[in-house]
Homo-oligomer: A and B are copies of this chain.
Amino acid sequence: MALQLLTTVGLLASSAAAAGHLFPDCQTGPLSNNVVCNTKASVTDRAKALVAALTIEEKITLTGSTSPGVHRLGLPSYEWWQEALHGVASSPGVTFNKQSGGNYSFATSFPQPILMGAAFNDDLIKAVATVISTEARAFNNANRSGLDYWTPNINPYRDPRWGRGQETPGEDTFHIKSYVKSLIEGLQGSDPNYLKVVATCKHFVGYDVENWSGNERYGFDAIISPQELSEYYMQPFQTCARDAKVASIMCSYNALNGVPTCADSYLLQDVLRDHWNWTDDGFYVTSDCDSIQNVFLPHNYTDTREEAVAFSLIAGTDLDCGAYYGTHLPAAYEQGLFNDTTIDQALVRLYSAQIRLGMFDPANNQAYRALTFGDVNTPDSQTLALRVAEEGIVLIKNDGTLPLQTKDRNMTIAVIGPWANATTTMQGNYAGVAPYLRSPYLAAKDLPGVNVLYAGSPGDPTTDGYPAAIKAAKAADVVIYADGANSAEEEDRNLIRWSGERQDIMTLLAGYGKPFILLQMGDQLDDTPFLHHENVSAILWAGFPGQSGGDAIMNIITGKTAPAGRMPVTQYPAHYVDDVPMTDMSLRPNATSGNPGRTYMWYNQSVVDFGFGLHYTHFTASFANDSDASSWDIQSLMQGCTEAYKDLCSFQSVGVSVRNEGSVKSDFVTLGFVAGEHGPTPYPIKQLVAYERLFAVEAGATAMAHLNLTLGSLARHDDMGNLVLYPGDYSLLVDVPTQATWNFTLTGKEATLEEWPQAPPRQ
């Protein structure tokens, strides 16, 4: 009976992606006597036993993301490709019920990471990830998804043009590292016996160009120095692999310094597996989709298709998203370009992951197997989706118009603009089906005692000249204008400024003497035309706020919730896109190339700063204890450091007193940066080293934040990429703009915290 069913699935899978996911029948199926079904055996032994039962032809058919399984062994088909960037998402392995409102017809849709990052609240991120993995397990239990999720995207948001920046928590690597560690804990769970799902940190490494001015990701060669590779591009992956023990890593489309990442054993073996000790059972590397093909073309890294697949497999790419391994490994095998040991190692890794997910174990021992649709989009999850949006929203400008006092005022609000009644646009990319999508307009309509005029897109100036928008603005007491920039995969932005047409309509609508609130959605655009425009009363940035986005926005606007989000990226001036090619990967300013520097660490001409965010009250921040020592000896610090990874050793926990000087209860994000003259020149302007979000600080009250500094907080990377603690002057800066500064020095001789593995000479 079970076998009969497996046969059917296998047949289906040979012609299309598998719709459901059944596990092997370890009780009565052909594998029941194979060690893979022996729960007492080690994971490795179990996986090896399975692989030993396979022919070479079968092995090769199992290397692609849409695995047909092996019928004769009762090994079911399996789709390895699931997405869940901010909720279980539409993807080859996820099947939503198409019957609207039916069980499994939706999943909780959280804001995009760029807005979640703006909350600077890692506990919240873990809670979000826990909901996502719970819902993923529920979908899997209903045969509606697999258990391998190709999320998160953690390439740092280096350039404002990047089409996928919205998928990341922002531009700062300390921030991404803290965020992603919590996220992976939530996704992979804390069961000592079973992975909840497999998370995948992507895209390893140096990937953040989609298609800019003739440079497509499929063939782009990112030229990065060892110093900036180690200090910036690698940092989130180090946390994933070394500290968070993510079970999967995805190599990327681009080449790094001449070698396509999926064919680069320096990256996949020397750095990832050797240097970071990323060798637990079931840890595997997947390619990005068709990136093995790209090793051949357009990278032209190998002379033949067979070399492309063999080199990638040998380098350590265990799974191919696509059919390129399946198509070309047979000839590569015949040509002797790889041997059984190599493919066996890849398959052992892949099936070890399945074993760690419990796919070969009885269901009744596994708590995750009991999750059902009753665990999807629960009231608590709904509240969480609303809360994370509220916590992320950033108040960029306010002349006192906000919070709007709407109660008992019989106020008329015009809600105008292309995003005013946004639906799926609020989700951003890699989205699933949301249970509902609460637009700003819908949320405004539900405000008690408020009359709402809606005008949607301002109109086509060619055909009508905005009459509906003008009429609504003139008739209203307050104008909320919701607009912004969208971005997309496979396409970088050319423009980071508001179009002339939008500036025209916005300043026109702002000119009727009504308070005018710019609700800036999506990606960042240069707000210069509005920041100092006297008719623009307030600017809120709300990113892609997810299923309850409109409610979150209206809660902020009306003061039900006080805003405390901080900018997760630098807002650059419009001309920045003319100042530096996107393909210039350097972060440091360079007088020769004209690169003005990248991120708040190196660029000092921002329009709105990384870390900036206003409140409905005023906070002061100061050091709690001003009698701290002001000098440390490096050798003493090193002697006290006993962690395996020395960057993680504690340095100081610095108390910061945060006082709410105004009259509105509010959260406050305490940000700590290190600056100063130490280590290699040039020195960064400053660098984030710690943050803590304080909650609901009452008016007049003082709360205490703790900035936990490590030796890594103080260290810098030399030109070889080594992490070094240098003698010199240090400052700890609190808040943006800086409210408090603590100066101290390190003395003695420099000490290496981490030796960076050097790349072999490139071709």
Counting CB contacts under 8 A, is A364 at the interface? no
Interface string of A16-34 (1 = CB under 8 A from B): 0100000000000000000
Interface string of A491-519 (1 = CB under 8 A from B): 00011110111011000100000000000
Interface string of A610-638 (1 = CB under 8 A from B): 00000000000000000000000000000
**Quick check: which of A209-217, A414-422, A441-449 contacts chain B, the rest being far away?**
A209-217
The residue in chain B whose Cβ has the minimal distance to the Cβ of A581 is: B213
Q: Are A500 and B214 in contact (CB under 8 A)?
A: no
> How many A residues face the partner with a CB closer than 8 A?
45
Q: Can you show 21 pairs from A to B with CB atoms below 8 A apart?
A: A17-B463, A65-B462, A92-B463, A212-B494, A213-B494, A214-B494, A214-B574, A215-B494, A218-B501, A289-B462, A290-B461, A290-B462, A290-B501, A293-B461, A293-B500, A294-B501, A297-B501, A298-B500, A298-B503, A323-B465, A324-B465
* 15 additional contacts (CB under 8 A) given A214-B574, A216-B499, A293-B504: A212-B213, A212-B494, A216-B494, A218-B500, A218-B501, A290-B462, A293-B500, A293-B501, A298-B499, A298-B503, A305-B508, A322-B461, A322-B465, A323-B463, A324-B461
- What is the copy number of this chain in the assembly? 2
Q: Are A578 and B214 in contact (CB under 8 A)?
A: yes
Q: Are A504 and B297 in contact (CB under 8 A)?
A: yes
Q: Are A500 and B577 in contact (CB under 8 A)?
A: no
Q: Are A500 and B323 in contact (CB under 8 A)?
A: no
Counting CB contacts under 8 A, is A236 at the interface? no
The residue in chain B whose Cβ has the minimal distance to the Cβ of A15 is: B464
Contact pick for A214, options B299, B495, B504, CB 8 Å: B495
The residue in chain B whose Cβ has the minimal distance to the Cβ of A289 is: B462
Counting CB contacts under 8 A, is A327 at the interface? yes
B-chain residues with CB within 8 Å of residue A323 when the two chains form the complex: 461-465
Counting CB contacts under 8 A, is A139 at the interface? no
Q: Are B326 and A465 in contact (CB under 8 A)?
A: yes
Counting CB contacts under 8 A, is A66 at the interface? yes
Counting CB contacts under 8 A, is A373 at the interface? no
Counting CB contacts under 8 A, is A481 at the interface? no
B-chain residues with CB within 8 Å of residue A462 when the two chains form the complex: 65, 289-290, 321-323
Q: How distant is A529 from chain B, measured CB to nearest CB, in Å?
A: 9
Q: Are A294 and B500 in contact (CB under 8 A)?
A: yes
B-chain residues with CB within 8 Å of residue A296 when the two chains form the complex: 500, 504
Q: Are A500 and B465 in contact (CB under 8 A)?
A: no
The residue in chain B whose Cβ has the minimal distance to the Cβ of A582 is: B213
Question: Assuming A214-B578, A495-B214, is B500 touching A219 (CB within 8 A)?
Answer: yes
Report the Cα distance A452→B494, complex, angstroms. 43
Q: Are A305 and B504 in contact (CB under 8 A)?
A: yes
Report the Cα distance A65→B497, complex, angstroms. 29
Report the Cα distance A503→B293, complex, angstroms. 11
Which 8 pairs between the two chains have the least Cβ-Cβ distance? Answer: A298-B500, A323-B465, A297-B500, A214-B577, A322-B462, A289-B462, A327-B465, A297-B504
Q: How distant is A537 from chain B, measured CB to nearest CB, in Å?
A: 21
The residue in chain B whose Cβ has the minimal distance to the Cβ of A216 is: B495
B-chain residues with CB within 8 Å of residue A17 when the two chains form the complex: 463
Report the Cα distance A294→B499, complex, angstroms. 10
B-chain residues with CB within 8 Å of residue A327 when the two chains form the complex: 465
Interface string of A49-71 (1 = CB under 8 A from B): 00000000000000001100000
The residue in chain B whose Cβ has the minimal distance to the Cβ of A296 is: B504
Interface string of A251-289 (1 = CB under 8 A from B): 000000000000000000000000000000000000001
Q: How distant is A62 from chain B, measured CB to nearest CB, in Å?
A: 15
Report the Cα distance A747→B495, complex, angstroms. 54
B-chain residues with CB within 8 Å of residue A499 when the two chains form the complex: 216, 218, 298
Which chain A residues in 206-239 approach chain B with CB under 8 Å?
Answer: 211-216, 218-219
The residue in chain B whose Cβ has the minimal distance to the Cβ of A212 is: B494
Q: How distant is A457 from chain B, measured CB to nearest CB, in Å?
A: 15
B-chain residues with CB within 8 Å of residue A211 when the two chains form the complex: 494-495
Q: How distant is A93 from chain B, measured CB to nearest CB, in Å?
A: 12
Report the Cα distance A305→B216, complex, angstroms. 40
B-chain residues with CB within 8 Å of residue A305 when the two chains form the complex: 504, 508
The residue in chain B whose Cβ has the minimal distance to the Cβ of A326 is: B465
Report the Cα distance A465→B211, complex, angstroms. 23
Contact pick for A297, options B215, B219, B503, CB 8 Å: B503
The residue in chain B whose Cβ has the minimal distance to the Cβ of A508 is: B305
B-chain residues with CB within 8 Å of residue A465 when the two chains form the complex: 322-324, 326-327
Which chain A residues in 313-330 approach chain B with CB under 8 Å?
Answer: 321-324, 326-327
Report the Cα distance A508→B304, complex, angstroms. 11
Report the Cα distance A215→B508, complex, angstroms. 24
Q: How distant is A309 from chain B, measured CB to nearest CB, in Å?
A: 12
The residue in chain B whose Cβ has the minimal distance to the Cβ of A219 is: B500
Report the Cα distance A596→B465, complex, angstroms. 44
B-chain residues with CB within 8 Å of residue A321 when the two chains form the complex: 462
B-chain residues with CB within 8 Å of residue A577 when the two chains form the complex: 213-214
Q: How distant is A501 from chain B, measured CB to nearest CB, in Å?
A: 6
Which chain A residues in 646-698 approach chain B with CB under 8 Å?
Answer: none
The residue in chain B whose Cβ has the minimal distance to the Cβ of A495 is: B214
Report the Cα distance A503→B653, complex, angstroms. 57
Q: How distant is A11 from chain B, measured CB to nearest CB, in Å?
A: 16
Q: How distant is A186 from chain B, measured CB to nearest CB, in Å?
A: 28
The residue in chain B whose Cβ has the minimal distance to the Cβ of A218 is: B500
Interface string of A431-472 (1 = CB under 8 A from B): 000000000000000000000000000000111110000000
The residue in chain B whose Cβ has the minimal distance to the Cβ of A81 is: B462
Report the Cα distance A499→B293, complex, angstroms. 11
The residue in chain B whose Cβ has the minimal distance to the Cβ of A294 is: B500
Report the Cα distance A650→B405, complex, angstroms. 81
B-chain residues with CB within 8 Å of residue A294 when the two chains form the complex: 500-501
The residue in chain B whose Cβ has the minimal distance to the Cβ of A295 is: B500
B-chain residues with CB within 8 Å of residue A495 when the two chains form the complex: 211, 214, 216
B-chain residues with CB within 8 Å of residue A322 when the two chains form the complex: 461-463, 465
Contact pick for A463, options B66, B496, B497, CB 8 Å: B66
Interface string of A93-114 (1 = CB under 8 A from B): 0000000000000000000000
B-chain residues with CB within 8 Å of residue A578 when the two chains form the complex: 214
Report the Cα distance A464→B501, complex, angstroms. 44
Interface string of A70-98 (1 = CB under 8 A from B): 00000000000000000000001000000
Q: How distant is A221 from chain B, measured CB to nearest CB, in Å?
A: 13
Q: How distant is A581 from chain B, measured CB to nearest CB, in Å?
A: 9
Report the Cα distance A290→B501, complex, angstroms. 9
The residue in chain B whose Cβ has the minimal distance to the Cβ of A574 is: B214
Report the Cα distance A322→B170, complex, angstroms. 40
The residue in chain B whose Cβ has the minimal distance to the Cβ of A325 is: B465
Q: How distant is A18 from chain B, measured CB to nearest CB, in Å?
A: 12
Report the Cα distance A323→B466, complex, angstroms. 9
Which chain A residues in 525-582 approach chain B with CB under 8 Å?
Answer: 574, 577-578
Q: How distant is A197 from chain B, measured CB to nearest CB, in Å?
A: 21
